[in-house]
Structure 1
């Protein structure tokens, strides 16, 4: 049960108004639509609101692979907070060094150098700058790919809804169909020796798009053939989310750079990283002031990262994610089966604990989100695929919680299906 402090005195309506005044009217409206609930407490797979309700968290945008407030991560952060939470950045700092050691012990062989940052989009920026330091100024990303919303990252996030208000973005950027190695080969041939390719092993915000077998290995081969650098964005897919440590493990691909985030936080303190081979990392290694950030590699964040990786390893959550993913995918497909072929569901797909339910229309996704909230479950839509409901449950859920979700999902789908007839 929860051991949190009492809920803040500010309640739903007051918080909505504070959002409207100080954080933006759009977010305030969305909060009001969702009932004006205020989250005040969490533990494991559960989030608690100010009115005493609790919600099974199958959302969180992939952050909570260890659930909320994992005891080992909280203890490590608590100890670091009382010891030395932020560094001067003048002396060497041992927690960052330890975090790099622990992380690279689990990355594909050769990815030995780490640049810590505070978010996934910052990891993307670091990779794009490092590619430019090697003369790879042409960027190739995948249609529906998502890599963040800062200006450089936005250039390779292939969604005009987010790009157009901030154009022009980085020049010489191309987007090719995900899973189409032929289209990538054509784009690389036109940019021989000066390209950087960035892709997700499974597209998350793109609607849980799983590439055809052999695609990742072929992408790696094409990059070598045409002298391109390869960046694997594992911000959402890495650290056990797909039932393997990394999405590239499925085809034993070793990219030039890999982006890590979300689960690296342990669900407690934001932290992300760009990991690279020694050869590719050399410009950053030669000049440590070439790309810097005041709060990057803070002792507090790195303590969380060490504890998160060690918990994933020591408690065998990666293996557990694979087994739970199979159980959930089977269950979700069974629930959706009566609603295929003309119903509100088009397809269910997933790998590990990343599962997508593609609906026939966007309206169905929004209504399912609301119906599930009404039944005590949190899920996410997909930013680059409006018809896809996305499930990213933690690896710490138990059988009773799996059944709770499946029952709630069946009821929500039944209600939405009847409404949309």
Structure 2
């Protein structure tokens, strides 16, 4: 395993992390060489030591790269006029952002609640379900929905839950892709359940269900009177080569959760998009669920810029094209370097998972990739899987850099 070192961060930065933020976070930064990112544009970021790194990480945020000109222009305009609203008066940017988001959402989803993070809209979905008597939550084993208390109750991993129990009551976890288990759970709670599921499990290591899975989840929710919440916080906004994972299989949930890519990589923002029937409790009383910074004009400008940029630049089609190219080339490299120590590369679009059969290989490859000039991600619920979430703005030259770096890193990790 390569040890990353060299003149990098201001000498006291790690000490400030240890003193004011987190000792663990400081140690993690030092494990990855102690370098510091100082600027970013497009697919690349620069560090304090002068390195240029190809950013194929970011946990799905940077579909359009960093500081996309359209998003930056929208945010700058808003920053210079009205970045944070009074919330007493109506404000146009929130209405325009909602209209734009409904315009790309699956047909029938017509009401929007904005927030600042993915976990916040998961919490909003839980409250929306409870307000309609859907008090029993059903999520999937190895699913990931965030770490606030309600969201963590759905995030079915003991490592994250154990220090904080008791969490929400009345939560059932069933295996992802297993509609028989889901039907049993729904049958036990007729008219009282809320099902929360991802179209592709990202943090579980890019687990792709059968094409029939989500349509069957939709059917079962209808049959047993359950609310169907589709968590597309990571998969939505084009990441899978379509606007939504729902589009890949032709389903419409009652509630769609959006995040990450909606920010345009500039200002954090998330959203809950629902049918009028599912949204009814929030429609009736605007104070039943609120947040000070919900729908703030600066974030709304970023969301509008993101939707426009993806549309104008043709990034949905580009994502599908790049996903096929990258998956194919990584498969060739893996076969040459790792042999039977690696499983087939998986994932639609630019949510790509590489799973190893030898413990520790994914972590070694993550570090070797950084040494070779590429940022990737680990998978929180599956340490054996390296995850790549490249931007759709990669050029042909960027692809060559990625493939050369991956092969160099793979050979180092294999040793």
TM over 0.5: yes
1:44-65, Cα deviation, whole Å (9 max, x unpaired): 0001101111100000000000
Equivalent positions of 1:254-265 (< 5 A) are: 254-265=252-263
Cα offset for 1:339? 4.3
Cα offset for 1:341? 5.0
- 1:50: which partner in 2? 48
- 1:3: which partner in 2? none
Equivalent positions of 1:273-352 (< 5 A) are: 273-339=271-337, 341-343=339-341, 345-352=342-349
1:354-399, Cα deviation, whole Å (9 max, x unpaired): 0000011341111111101111100000001110000000000011
Structure 1 pair 187/353, CA: closer, same or farther in 2 (3 Å)? same
For 1:38 and 1:357, the matched residues in 2 are separated by 26
- 2:4: which partner in 1? none
Equivalent positions of 1:76-115 (< 5 A) are: 76-115=74-113
Aligned length: 408
1:127–1:274: 8 Å Cα contact kept in structure 2?
yes
- 2:407: which partner in 1? 410
Equivalent positions of 1:9-408 (< 5 A) are: 11-339=9-337, 341-343=339-341, 345-408=342-405
For 2:10 and 2:414, the matched residues in 1 are separated by 30
1:152–1:169: 8 Å Cα contact kept in structure 2?
yes
Structure 2 residues without counterparts, runs of 5 or longer: 1-7
For 1:221 and 1:12, the matched residues in 2 are separated by 56
* Runs (4+) off by over 2 Å: 10-13, 338-343
Cα offset for 1:172? 1.0
For 2:263 and 2:343, the matched residues in 1 are separated by 34
Structure 1 residues without counterparts, runs of 5 or longer: 1-9
Query: Over the residues paired in the alignment, what is the CA RMSD in angstroms?
Result: 1.0
For 1:326 and 1:289, the matched residues in 2 are separated by 46
For 2:332 and 2:189, the matched residues in 1 are separated by 46
1:195-254, Cα deviation, whole Å (9 max, x unpaired): 000000011001000001211100100000010000000000001000000001111100
Q: What's the TM-score, normalizing by structure 1?
A: 0.96
Q: What's the TM-score, normalizing by structure 2?
A: 0.97
1:15–1:38: 8 Å Cα contact kept in structure 2?
no
For 2:339 and 2:136, the matched residues in 1 are separated by 43
